[in-house]
A = this chain, B = another copy of it.
Amino acid sequence: MSLGSFLDEAKDLVNAELDRVLPSPDQEPKRLHEAMRYAIFAGGKRLRPAIAIAACRAVGGEDREAFSAACALEMLHTYSLIHDDLPAIDDDDLRRGRPTCHKAYGDATAILAGDALQTEAFRVLAEETARPEAIVALVRELANASGTHGMVGGEIADIEAEGAAPDLDRVMWIHERKTAALFRASAVMGGIAGGADEATCRALAEYGTSLGLAFQVVDDILDETEDAETLGKSPGKDRAAGKMTTPAAIGLERSRTLARDHAGSARKALEGVSDASVLAGLVDLAVERSS
């Protein structure tokens, strides 16, 4: 199966699952459920769910075993986008080519829609996963990846670094938490769902971290080089906001080299995973966006 076919299939599977498990817009509170679905079904690539499904397959699991992890990861990611876009944080009007959630539904509803998507992520793990031991491991992995030592920690550091002198170590500290932590969780949670042993989970963790770092460096590059139509969001915002990005710290060319280095580390980590061709393809995809 080609990588494109896999991504299309994974996206369809995850979208159908998200539609099934998310609260219905016909139920009260309707507008909140609408806002949650507006943000979730905005046309994202479903990269984190795809990583989880690919990791689950790589360790011999069935797709359906990874569905709760895949949905939880996408809900967690979407909640972070909604909150990041708020006027009090990044103040972004455009996301995936459409008005951001707070632009469409107002700030109060957007805050609560993000809150509820985080809650749903943990609910789905606990209610849609078969084995109690797997639920415990998945909740732990997701909570650690998304809390103050992971995603939210990276977000606050990103805000606090605005306007400071660019520094590569600090950029990497932020990227590891803000982006790579959830990529790591995507790979590991897919592995856990598929019944991977500890050594394989460690290899998947290394893979996910390196893939996430490559992906975020490329995102930084694209913010400088692409237009709004290609990007689906407002370009040049990072530089305008004085964000501490990789290009700001070391320039575009060295950033491209760095992205390739992280991609190399991700591929190397896959030596510990038996059926890793799709996972390797995701690495190529992450890096090729910037070429």
Query: Interface residues, chain A, CB within 8 Å of chain B?
Result: 23, 28-29, 31-33, 36, 79, 83, 86, 88-89, 106-109, 111-112, 114-116, 118-120, 122-123, 125-127, 132-133, 135-136, 139-140, 142-144, 146-149, 152-153, 155-157, 159-160
Which residues of B are found within 8 Å of A83, using beta-carbon distances? 111-112, 115
Nearest neighbor of A23 in chain B, beta-carbon distance:
B148
Q: In the complex, are the beta carbons of A147 and B116 less than 8 A apart?
A: yes
Structural contact, A120 and B108, CB atoms closer than 8 A: no
Residue of B with least CB distance to A150: B119
Asked whether, in the complex, the Cβ of B23 is within 8 Å of the Cβ of A149, the reply is yes
Q: CA separation between A134 and B147, bound complex, in Å? A: 22
Q: A89-B111, A155-B112 are in contact. Are A29 and B148 (CB under 8 A)?
A: yes
**Besides the known contacts A23-B147, A122-B122, 17 further A-B residue pairs in the complex with CB atoms under 8 A apart:** A28-B157, A29-B157, A32-B152, A88-B106, A88-B108, A115-B152, A116-B148, A116-B152, A116-B153, A118-B118, A119-B148, A119-B152, A120-B148, A123-B143, A126-B140, A127-B143, A132-B136
In this complex, what residue of B is CB-closest to A141? B126
Contacts of A127 in B (CB 8 A): 140, 143
CA distance A31 to B158 in the complex (A): 13
* Most chain B CB within a 10 A radius of its CB, from A122, A127, A142, A149: A122
